[in-house]
Structures are given as C-alpha cells and as structure tokens.
C-alpha cells in the first residue's frame, strides 16, 4: 500500500473521530487541534515498539501488535491517574515490502482498543524504514492537584501491586534466548491489561502517595519510586503475586524482574488502607517503605539478590 493510500485508509477507518467535539482538527491536516476539558491538565506519554524486542511477528498476531502499541501507553497514563477522553498519535515505520494485510490487521487492533478504552486517534505519521516499528503518543487528563507521580511516599507507607507479575517477563526472556516461549506466557506478553480504572480511583481519592507502571521490572521500577522519594523499601518475596502457572516453576527474582508486566506499583499511607476496599481484590500488598536501602526478603527473613534486575533499552 502506498503512503497516501494508507493515509486515506486510516482516515476512513477512523472517520468517527470527526464527531468528537473536543477534536477541532482531526486526521488529515498538518497538526491536530484539541480543546482540553475545563480545569484539567494534560498528561502525555510516548512509547516505541520495535520488532524483535517489544514484540515478535512470529508469535503476535497483527491485531495484538496494534493493541499492545496502545496499551503500553495507556499503562503510563494509568500510573498518573489520567482520565479519558484519551488522544493518540500513531507513527508507522514501514519497510517497502511490509504486507498490506499486516498493516490492516494492526490498524484493526488499534481501532478495537480505541473503542474499548475511549481513545481518539488524532493524527500521526508514516515513514519508510529498514525494520518495522510503531511509535505512539497518547494524552489524557488529570486534575492538577490529584495527579499521581513517582515521588511522595514516606517511611511506613504500604507497597501494593495490581494483578500478577512475571509471565510477560519470562516470555520475553525465552524469546531473546532464541527459545519458543510457552503459549500461555506469550498470551500475557502480547496482551497487557492497562489498569486505568484503578489509577483513576487512586488519584480521585488521593490514596497513592507514589505510583509507577511496571514496564521495566518490579524491582527496578520500585527503585525509581524510592529514589524519587528519597526513601527505601523492603519487599516480601512470598507475597509477590507471581502468575499462578509460573509459580509452579519455582521462580527466582531474575525470572520475574525484567519488565513487560504493565501493572501498577504504588504506595499508600497506613491511615488510608481501609479506603482501598473497593479495589482490594485487584491488588496485593507486597512490602513497606523504609527509611533507606532496598531489600527483598524470603519467608525466613533472608535477603534475596534482586539488584541490577530490570530491562534496559541501551544495554
């Protein structure tokens, strides 16, 4: 499909964008123009998915690639407590021989999740490339006084994480080692679940003293929180909500700590624990904020090695 034919195809596929009252200038102009909701601040993120790193066309369907491009960005917005409507800008870097059917499948996945998560495709770009890549920027909205950030937790705060961890990490590690990932791991790797409602709940009720999404590994991302807040942390290894089927493999920190989980990791003041009741079945308490240092302790109180575990884009 040639460049301008693809642009027309995208315009037609997402033509309902023109019905959004806050989007004054939709796809097709040099820039998009958006009217922000009253008394709200804009939250913006951008992420890239590169073939052979963030996904594999061998194991992901085109729809899953499109959905993941959107969901990893939505996870960032969730960590800030951002509200819809969300606006997206999609960039394709395409080899000249990239199949039309794959492009259409990816766009179908993007469109599907735009409907699911109240996302409006506001624009983007198409460029040629030696390798296939997707880049996506996404914006949402927060009340300035209620947004979540990585800093703000204090000694004594309780540490929580949503969902389960580890399955996506192991799929990624198997893939990078040249092995065929277990199908049940690939399913998690290809289909992250951004915790938007939980992020909004934490922000609106001012419950999270700090929050981050687990994209680079639970140990490394918690390290970002304690560094930004100038505190320490102590994790209970036995309390970590490791994906049930993965637990049977008796994992060690290195097996579950290299990212791709896209869960929310957050801290809560002890006085606000009862207010977590509406989301209690969706979260797990895994540790406490300390004055300094970082430890992962097993059931006997012995420290496990969880240093230097996490994804690095430039490693």
CA atoms of 17 and 156, how far apart (whole Å):
46
Question: Above 50 in pLDDT, residue 293?
Answer: yes
pLDDT score at 312: 45
Tokens, residue 257: 């700590």
Please compute the mean of the pLDDT values over residues 93-108 and round it to a whole number: 92
Residues 191-246 have pLDDT tens digits of 999 999 999 999 999 999 999 999 989 999 999 999 999 999 999 999 999 999 88
| 49 closest CA partner among 37, 57, 58, 40 | 57
Q: Which CATH class is domain 158-304?
A: alpha beta
Q: 88 with 122: CB under 8 angstroms?
A: yes
Question: Above 50 in pLDDT, residue 178?
Answer: yes
User: Residue 131: how many CB atoms within 10 A of its CB?
Assistant: 11
Question: Above 70 in pLDDT, residue 315?
Answer: no
Question: Above 80 in pLDDT, residue 118?
Answer: yes
4 burial type by CB count under 10 A (0-12 exposed, 13-18 middle, 19+ buried): exposed
pLDDT score at 313: 41
11 pLDDT band (50/70/90 cuts)? confident
Q: 111 with 103: CB under 8 angstroms?
A: no
* Phi, psi dihedral angles at 292 (to 5 degrees): -165, 165
Question: Above 70 in pLDDT, residue 154?
Answer: yes
Helix (H, G, I), strand (E, B), or coil: what is residue 51? strand
* Distances, alpha carbon 219 to alpha carbons 51, 118, 151, 283, in Å: 25, 31, 16, 17
Check if 3-146 and 158-304 are the same fold: no
Question: Above 90 in pLDDT, residue 88?
Answer: yes
Give the N- to C-terminal CA distance of the chain in Å, as an integer: 35
Residues ≥6 apart with Cβ < 8 Å to 182:
170, 171, 174
Question: Above 90 in pLDDT, residue 5?
Answer: no
User: What average pLDDT does the structure give for the chain?
Assistant: 91
Question: Above 80 in pLDDT, residue 162?
Answer: yes
pLDDT score at 310: 56
CA atoms of 95 and 130, how far apart (whole Å):
5
Q: What is the pTM of this model?
A: 0.92
User: Residue 49: how many CB atoms within 10 A of its CB?
Assistant: 19
Is the domain covering 3-146 a CATH 3.40.640.10 domain?
A: no
Question: Above 70 in pLDDT, residue 32?
Answer: yes
Please compute the mean of the pLDDT values over residues 62-76 and round it to a whole number: 95
161's enclosing H/E stretch is strand 158-162
Please compute the mean of the pLDDT values over residues 168-176 and round it to a whole number: 88
What is the distance of C-alpha 238 from the center of its chain? Answer: 24
17 pLDDT band (50/70/90 cuts)? low
Domain ranges across the chain: 3-146, 158-304
Residues 279-290 have pLDDT tens digits of 999 999 999 999
pLDDT score at 173: 86
* Phi, psi dihedral angles at 268 (to 5 degrees): -135, 135
Question: Above 50 in pLDDT, residue 314?
Answer: no
């Amino acid at each position: 499909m040639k460049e301008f034919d693809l642009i027309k195809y995208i315009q037609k596929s997402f033509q309902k964008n023109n019905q959004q009252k806050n989007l004054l200038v939709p796809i097709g102009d040099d820039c998009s123009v958006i009217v922000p909701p009253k008394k709200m601040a804009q939250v913006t993120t951008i992420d890239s998915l590169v073939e052979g790193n963030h996904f594999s066309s061998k194991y992901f369907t085109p729809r899953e690639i499109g959905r993941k491009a959107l969901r990893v960005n939505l996870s960032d917005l969730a960590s800030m407590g951002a509200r819809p409507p969300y606006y997206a800008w999609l960039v394709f870097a395409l080899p000249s021989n990239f199949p039309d059917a794959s492009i259409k499948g990816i766009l179908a996945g993007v469109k599907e999740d735009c409907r699911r998560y109240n996302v409006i495709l506001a624009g983007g770009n198409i460029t040629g490339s030696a390798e296939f890549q997707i880049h996506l920027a996404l914006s949402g909205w927060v009340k300035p006084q209620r947004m979540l950030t990585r800093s703000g937790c204090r000694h004594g705060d309780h540490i929580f994480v949503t969902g389960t961890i580890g399955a996506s990490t192991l799929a990624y590690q198997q893939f990078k080692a040249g092995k065929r990932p277990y199908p049940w791991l690939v399913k998690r790797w290809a289909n992250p679940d951004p915790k938007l409602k939980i992020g909004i709940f934490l922000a609106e009720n001012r419950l999270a003293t700090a929050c981050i999404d687990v994209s680079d590994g639970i140990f490394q991302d918690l390290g970002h929180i304690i560094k930004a807040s100038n505190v320490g942390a102590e994790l209970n290894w036995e309390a970590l909500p490791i994906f049930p089927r993965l637990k049977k493999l008796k994992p060690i920190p290195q097996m579950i700590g290299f990212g791709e989980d896209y869960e929310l990791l957050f801290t809560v003041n002890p006085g606000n624990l009862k207010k977590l009741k509406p989301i209690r079945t969706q979260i797990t308490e895994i540790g406490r904020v300390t004055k300094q240092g970082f430890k992962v302790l097993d059931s006997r109180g012995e420290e496990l090695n969880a240093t230097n575990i996490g994804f690095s884009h430039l490693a």
